[in-house]
Amino acid sequence: MEIKNSGLNEILETLSQFKSSIKKLEDQGVDVSALKNELNRISLKIDHYRNECSEEILPKIRKEISTDCLFLRKKIIDSLKTQIEDIIQNEIHKS
């Protein structure tokens, strides 16, 4: 069964943005393996639901995946914060 739902489409767009953010962090030398694993886990969950769910449980699925996305967003933000703090510390030590 194919899920045709704007809520899921929004989640897929969010995951695409997360993927881009993770790639940018990786390009800057940040260890993003945990972030990639989490993104893959969410993507696999979406694929599983897309193939095996019924319309009745779509709201529950969206809520569960949205919650997962919130936690991934926090992890990405924490990684960015840590990277910024590291840059500041390196600049302070150079002075």
pLDDT tens for the chain, residues 1 to 95: 344 566 677 888 888 999 999 999 899 888 899 999 999 999 888 888 777 666 777 777 778 888 899 999 999 999 989 988 988 898 888 87
CA nearest neighbour of 3 among 65, 56, 50, 64: 50
Residue 36: which residues within 8 A CB-CB, separation 6 or more? 22
pLDDT, position 54? 67
pLDDT, position 53? 67
pLDDT, position 23? 92
